[in-house]
Amino acid sequence: MRKFADTLFLAALALVILVPVLLFNGKPDQISEVENRALAELPPIQEGFNAFTSGLSEYIDDRIGLRDQMMQGYNSVVYETLNAKHSDVIRGDDGWLFYANDLPDYAGTNIDETAIAHQTEVLAAINAWCEERGIIFILAVGPNKSEIYDNLMPEGINKAEQTKTALIAERLREQGILVSYAKDDMLAHRDEQELYYALDTHWNSYGARYMMDDMVTLLGKETTDFTYIETPVIEGDLMVIMGMGWNGKYSLQVESEPAEGTVIEELDGAKHVYIHSEGTDKIVCYRDSFNRVMLPFYTYYFHGNVFWDFNIDWDFVEQEAPKYLILSCVERFFDDMIAENEDILMR
C-alpha cells in the first residue's frame, strides 16, 4: 500500500512539473487574457549575454504552461473567497464591479475652482476658434458608470451632490456652448434596461443612445429609433484588471446597427475611421473608447473623420471645414482630454 502511495505521489509530482513544460507557449505575438498585455518575446542573442539571460527568464516566466489559469485561480481565491479589496476595482452590489479611478468624480474630491476656471477657458477658446471658421463645436461627455449606478455602489463611499463635469457643463451652457451630458436622462431610465456592463467600465448602446438623443436634440434634429443586437456576455475589462475569470455575473452586450447604405471605413485600425453616409452633415470627431458604440448612431446624422485621440489637429480641422467638431470622452478622462488641447490658448 505504501509503495502504491509513493508511486501515485511521484506520478502526480511528475505531472505538476511536466504539464506546464509541455504546454509552454512558444508562439510569437501572444496576449495574456488575464493581464491584457503582450507576452515577452524570445530575446535575440546578439544583444549580449546578460541581456539575453534576463530576457530569457522573462520569456519563460510569461510563457510557461497554465500561467493564466493559475493566476486566475489565485486571484479568485484572494478577491472572492477571502473577500480582499482590489486597489483598482470596487465591488458593488449584485455582482457589479466599478472602477476606482471614478472615485474623484464620484466623491467630488477633484472639484477645484482654479481647475474648473482653466478647463472652462480652454473649452470656450475651442468654441471661439470654431465660431471664427463657421464650425459648430459640440462637447459630449459620458457619465462614469458609478454616477448612473450609484445605487449599486458599496456603502461608505459618499457621493458628491454634483460632479466637476456637471459644474463645467453648466458654465459652458451659460455661454451658449453645446454640451451633451445626459446623466439625468440615464438616471431616469437606468432601471428599464442595463445601460452599462456589470463587469466592465463601458456603457452599451442602450446607454450611449441617451448621449446621441441629447446631441441631436441640441442640434434641432429628430431622434431615431435604432435597431439593436443583444448578446449575453460574462466578461469585462474590470475582470481583466482583477486578473480573474468569470465570476458568474452575466451582462448584456448591446450593439446598434448602422443606417442602411452607410459604411464605417477603418483607415488606421480602430484609431481612425471615416463614416460614409450620404445626405448627412460633415463632422470631425475626437473621442475615446467610450465613444466607439456611438459610431453606428453617427451614420444616421453625420459623415466624416472620427479619431480615437483627444489631441485636435487644428490645421486638419480647418482644412476639412466640417459643420461640426465633436470632442467626446467619458467623465473620468475629462482632465486628459482638456490637457491634450490646452495649446488652443496659444493660438
Half-sphere exposure for 78 (CA within 13 Å, toward CB): 13
The answer to whether the pTM exceeds 0.75 is yes
pLDDT value of position 44:
75
If phi > 0 it is left, if psi is from -120 to 50 it is alpha, else beta; for residue 94 that is left
Which residues of the chain carry a pLDDT beneath 70?
Answer: 1-26, 30-40, 42-43, 46-52, 55-86, 244-248
pLDDT value of position 82:
39
pLDDT value of position 262:
97
pLDDT value of position 175:
96
pLDDT value of position 74:
47
Q: 141 near 163, Cβ under 8 Å?
A: no
Contacts of 51 (CB under 8 A, 6+ apart): 43
Contacts of 285 (CB under 8 A, 6+ apart): 291, 298, 302, 304, 305, 306, 307, 325, 326, 327, 328
Nearest 5°: the CA angle 39, 45, 50 is: 85
d(CA 286, CA 291): 9
What does the DSSP 8-state code read for residue 324? E
- How does pLDDT run across 177-200, given as a tens digit for each residue? 999 999 999 999 999 999 999 989
